[in-house]
Amino acid sequence: MIYGGRVLGRRILLGSQPMQIVQPGIRYFPDYLDRGGQEAMVESIRQVVAQAPLYVPAMPKTGKPLSVRMTNCGALGWMTDKEGGYRYQPTHPATGKPWPAIPRELLAIWDDISGYDKPPEACLINFYDDSAHMGLHQDSDENDLAAPVVSLSLGATCLFRIGGNKRTDPTRSFKLSSGDALVLGGEGRMSFHGVDRIYPSTSTLLKQGGRINLTLRRVNR
């Protein structure tokens, strides 16, 4: 059973809008989760955060704090700090405990739209307040680059930017709203991308405002 979704024949259709190919390998699913599905997902994420509190990640070497707060669920979690740099690790940096399991409704989304036969090992949870952003980057710390990255947005709308495989390639920007899903796979797996800005007060999903982004990743081949 998929929470908030409808089952059509053998295909589980959660989105109300058709999928759009933004550029080769980049698939955009507007309104993928309906409001009920979004609320259920927020509740699952709250339970993860209760076990694995949000922390402030820091840039390698400089120790400059990122503007987003992060946590993870899954066997592995992505993190960065001054001493250790970008990496995946099996435990939370503050509690020392293993990350909580990936909620089953997130695993169902991976099964529905990733097109990949192995399950995700990591789900990075980013929390953006109204002034947070994320600079242009590639997701390149995974060994299995054949697997896509599956992203789900909840709460405030953001301006998302995506380009090509080189930092200097031209970019395009579009808005990601609550319930939207995005897949970076195939030719688009190494596309540079980032979040330029959050649009405050564009969603009633999160009572305190802000935006949550969840990215499901396969780390090992």
Work out how close the CB of 20 gets to ligand AKG at its nearest, in angstroms, rounded to a whole number.
16
**What dihedral do alpha carbons 33, 109, 127, 20 form, nearest 10°?**
-60
Which region, judged by CB under 5 A, interacts with Mn ion, from 16-24, 62-70, 139-147, 196-204? 139-147
Q: Measured from the CB atom, is 14 or 122 closer to ligand AKG?
A: 122
The CB-of-195 to ligand AKG minimum distance in angstroms stands at 5
Q: What are phi and psi of 5, to 5 degrees?
A: -110, 175
For the bound state, the minimum distance from the C-beta of residue 162 to Mn ion, rounded and expressed in Å, comes to 10
Report residue 203 as tokens.
């969603």
Q: Which of 144, 162, 94, 150 is nearest to 124 (CA)?
A: 150
What residues form DSSP beta bridges with 127?
69, 212
CB atoms within 10 A of CB 125: 23
From the list 1-9, 60-68, 87-95, 138-146, the region that binds Mn ion by CB under 5 A is 138-146
Strands of the sheet with 157-162, listed across from one edge: 134-137, 193-199, 157-162, 172-176
Verify binding: residue 45, ligand AKG, rule CB under 6 A.
no
Binding mask 86-125 for Mn ion (x = CB under 5 A): ----------------------------------------
Determine the distance from the C-alpha atom of residue 212 to the mean position of all C-alpha atoms in its chain, rounded to a whole number: 8
Q: How far is the CB of 185 from Mn ion (least distance, A)?
A: 13
Six-digit token string for 151 = 């992203």
Torsion of CA 56, 71, 92, 117, to 10 degrees: -140
Rounded CA separation 7/58 (Å): 42
Report yes or no: 139 and 217 within 8 Å, Cβ to Cβ: yes
Say which entry of Mn ion, ligand AKG, none residue 161 contacts (CB below 5 to 8 A, set by partner kind): none
29 binds ligand AKG (CB under 6 A): no
Strand partners, 221: none
- From the list Mn ion, ligand AKG, none, partner contacted by residue 151 (C-beta under 5 to 8 A by kind): ligand AKG
134 binds, among ligand AKG, Mn ion, none (CB under 5 to 8 A by kind): ligand AKG
Binders in 139-158 for ligand AKG, by CB under 6 A? 139, 151, 153
- Binds 178: which of Mn ion, ligand AKG, none (CB < 5-8 Å by kind): none
126 binds, among ligand AKG, Mn ion, none (CB under 5 to 8 A by kind): ligand AKG
Look at residues 177, 123, 125 and name the one whose alpha carbon lies nearest to residue 155.
Answer: 177
Residue 195 interacts with ligand AKG (CB under 6 A): yes or no: yes
Binding site for Mn ion (CB under 5 A): 139
